[in-house]
Structure 1
């Protein structure tokens, strides 16, 4: 039972650290997105709110890719980079559609055309897209590949080596940890 509690605590700690890092990267991307949209709305694209939002959203996506790959989810690198980046941009494309649709509905369908209304709609849309992104990054983009396990008669399952060799560990040995503090699986 203590091993189960330790595993649960470690899993919560990893989730907490990922959420904090994701939030910091997201805050930087948010500034790029909202700041870029406002810059474009007030200079070269005053009548093209959705086009400006798409451009700023793409720039923010690039910032988020670098931050999340290099920092937030760096311990979850299991896939070839080309596959991971494809998934990342598909997920962010969906999130960009969510945030742009929120702005377009507010601006064109409801007629809220002022700068304040456009900013509020953009913030709401980014928030909805962020909820979707966090879930999708953990479940799809930076997901861990399943690890084969074998059940020992006297304890919980142990991960198997790719060659099928069970690692030797006694219950008194601490679980190996990743440099970020995460328990290695």
Structure 2
């Protein structure tokens, strides 16, 4: 029995039905939470050390690493019964959608730092860090997440191409 099946077995019935109905979105959200931790861990590590004067570059690097983690987790777990294209084509589409999402994610941070000047010496270090987190890790990531979910379902892992993957997944040993 998988972790998901174990959790569902212990969940009360009204909630269980909702979770099963929206399991793909729930799995996508769990992958998103995981990549949120990866993204922010790398971002703060870089931004508070070697890329201190370049927070947008540090964020871009962190997003790229988190995107690679996201591809593996989404392909093998969230959308494992969808898709059906060749891995190279699917990966190219995934990273193209994710590339646009990187730009979407960076826009609020860029506006905060370079348009609104929420950076030192115009504001305190504390205000700068709060603004960076709010715009880079909350607003930007939420906007990018909505875009990615829509793009992945529509182009990368479309349901109509998933029949081959569904057959492969159902044949796998549990």
Q: TM-score, normalised by structure 1?
A: 0.70
- CA shift for structure 1 position 178: 7.1
- C-alpha distance in structure 2 between counterparts of 1:25 and 1:49, whole Å: 24
SS at match of 1:145: helix
Matched, 1:70 2:76: yes
Matched, 1:23 2:41: no
Match of 2:9 in 1: none
Q: 1:48 aligns with which of 39, 50, 54?
A: 54
Matched, 1:100 2:115: no
Runs of 4 or more above 4 Å deviation: 12-15, 177-181
- C-alpha distance in structure 2 between counterparts of 1:34 and 1:104, whole Å: 16
Mark the structure with the bigger radius of gyration. Answer: 1
- C-alpha distance in structure 2 between counterparts of 1:93 and 1:86, whole Å: 10
Matches within 5 A, 1:1-185: 16-113=22-119, 114-122=128-136, 123-145=138-160
Which runs of no fewer than 5 residues in structure 1 stay unpaired? 1-11, 148-176
- C-alpha distance in structure 1 between counterparts of 2:161 and 2:152, whole Å: 16
Deviations 1:13-61 (A, max 9, x none): 7660101100000101111112211111111111101100110000100
- CA shift for structure 1 position 90: 0.4
RMSD of Structure 2 on Structure 1 (CA): 2.3
Which runs of no fewer than 5 residues in structure 2 stay unpaired? 1-17, 120-127
- C-alpha distance in structure 2 between counterparts of 1:65 and 1:101, whole Å: 22
Task: Decide which structure has greater helix share.
Answer: 2
In the superposition, relative to structure 1, how do residues 54 and 32 fare at CA in structure 2: closer, same or farther (>3 Å)? same
